[in-house]
Structure 1
Amino acid sequence: MIEYNDEDLLMLSGIQHISFCERQWALIHIEQQWAENQLTVEGNWMHRNVDSPQYISRDKESIILRSVTLVSRQLGLYGISDAIEMTPSLSNQNYMIHPRYPGKWLLTPIEYKRGKPKKDPIDEVQLCAQGMCLEEMYRISIDKGFLYYGETRHREKINFTNELRNFVKEQSTRMHLLYKQGKTPSPDYKARCKSCSLLDICMPKMFAKTTKVNTYLSELYQL
């Protein structure tokens, strides 16, 4: 099994970008380009308290930690979690010990998203990647996580199925391949492009028109 060195680790958040669009991922993580739109601003506003490591909530049954550092050398990813929910473990197996909170704890990652649940798995893949990082870090198994959506104000349980785990592995491998090549994929204009904050940087419609013109000229002059 391949294990990545520290200098080869890529940002875990990028797995959501590449699942949405490979070109978007490359523009952000290879070309270091970024732009805000209403959706990204709303997302940042929603995370204003979630991302504070000092913001810890506790009740009789659970403790929620914020901004926990995550890393997986098998996936080659590193990042910061939105929240990790710790609940008491009733088993002598599959638990972790926290230096500040006595006892045995089960871990469940929670990711906060604006909007509502999506038809595609781009949110689920990021959450599952966080769970896989925790499994590797603490040598435990995690079978689920939760996505909390700002529009519905409801937690959606996401089971970490073998299919979802394999998708995480495929996308992380793809990220490393593209990063090693250092090439940004060509744009492919689709309806989802309208919601992308990098639309004006990517310019998929203009690229499509240019490609058609070049193809026409090549065929006309047999270039």
Structure 2
Amino acid sequence: MEYAEDDYLMISGIQHFKFCRRQWALIHVEQQWAENVHTVTGELMHKKAHDPYLTEKRKDTIIVRALPVSSRELGISGECDVVEFHKCEDGIQLHEHRGLYSVFPVEYKKGKPKLTEEDKLQVVAQALCLEEMFSTRVAQGAIFYGETRRREQIEITEELREEVIHMLAEMHQYYARKYTPKVKPSKVCNACSLKDICLPKLNKTVSVKTYIEQRLEEEE
């Protein structure tokens, strides 16, 4: 199956979906968004990483910024912050460059490495797009964290690939149904930029229907 471009989802939605399915739906289905200090800092980091007119060559490495990527098979599109093409013996050919190159996506994130996998899954989704576009195999990628100023190398394993593929299938189902999951409060809610829109605390109160029924029963 191949998706039409009008049905493409955003690659960046992977991390939202892994973090909280309701957050993803509020942003990508209902088109709601709210900024906090975390999202603003992240945007500033991406602006520094992105310069679509800049391609650098450092010895045997070609660095491309803000590279548009997409996948018809997965129905996703977006931009890679940075893609490095490393000269190697077994790789792909690049226009106007001699030799063969491997493909290495690099995602920029504020903060520090997480115990959860949402950042890794976003890199894996980028790798799957690059594989389809360049007809190659992407074995590794990296995440650069602004707080530590270091890269974390990511192995693009079969397990991570399968998780991304299954998540994207679920995301497409939700999007087609225009479905927003119900609130499931957890400790991550306090760090969410949409908590004032999502209102997770209201989940602990009775619904309007239940409230009215209770009041009617009291008056009988």
Same fold? TM cut 0.5: yes
2:175 maps to 179
- TM-superposition CA deviations, 1:97-130 (whole Å, max 9, x none): 2224333211100000001111111000000000
Count matched residues: 216
- How far residue 23 of structure 1 moved from its aligned partner, in angstroms, is 0.6
Q: Which whole-Å CA distance do the structure 2 matches of 1:191 and 1:214 have between them?
A: 27
- Which residues of structure 2 form unaligned runs of 5+? none
Report matched runs for 1:106-117 at 5 Å. Answer: 106-117=102-113
Q: Distance between the aligned counterparts of 1:156 and 1:102, measured in 2?
A: 29
Aligned-partner residue type, residue 62 of structure 2: I
Q: Corresponding residue for 2:34?
A: 35
Matches within 5 A, 1:139-158: 139-158=135-154
- Superposed CA offset, 1:176-204 (max 9, x none): 00001102111111110111111101101
Aligned to 2:16: 17
SS of the residue aligned with 2:78?
strand
Supply the distance in 2 between the matched residues of 1:216 and 1:191 (Cα, whole angstroms): 31
- Indicate the SS of the match to 2:105: strand
TM-score w.r.t. the length of structure 1 is 0.91
What CA distance in whole angstroms lies between the structure 1 residues aligned with 2:53 and 2:188? 36
Which structure has greater strand proportion? Answer: 2
Unaligned runs of 5+ in 1: none
Structure 1 residue aligned with 2:99: 103
Cα distance in 1 for residues equivalent to 2:36 and 2:6: 31
Instruction: Provide closer, same or farther for how the CA distance between residues 151 and 212 of structure 1 changes in structure 2, counting only shifts above 3 A.
Output: farther
Could you tell me the percent identity over the aligned residues?
42
Q: Alpha carbons of 1:205 and 1:68: their partners in 2 closer, same or farther (altered >3 Å)?
A: same
Aligned residue in 1 for 2:205? 209
How far apart are 1:214 and its partner, in Å? 3.3
Contact 1:49–1:55 (Cα < 8 Å) also in 2: no
- Distance in 1 between the 2:96 and 2:52 partners? 14
Superposed counterparts of 1:68-87, under 5 Å: 68-87=67-86
Query: In the TM superposition, what is the alpha-carbon distance from 1:207 to its structure 2 partner?
Result: 2.7
Query: Tell me, what secondary structure is at the counterpart of 1:104?
Result: strand
Aligned residue among 130, 133, 137 for 1:134: 130
1:170 has 2:169 as partner: no
1:138-192 superposed Cα distances (whole Å, 9 cap, x missing partner): 1100111001100111111110111100110011011100001102111111110
**CA shift in 2, pair 1:100/1:117, >3 Å:** same
Alignment match, 2:48: 49
What SS does structure 2 have at the residue aligned with 1:200?
A: helix
Distance 1:106 1:124 in 2: 19
CA distance in 2, matches of 1:166, 1:192: 25
Q: Separation in 2 of the partners of 1:56 and 1:136?
A: 22
The offset of 1:58, in angstroms, is 2.4
1:210 alignment partner, SS class:
coil
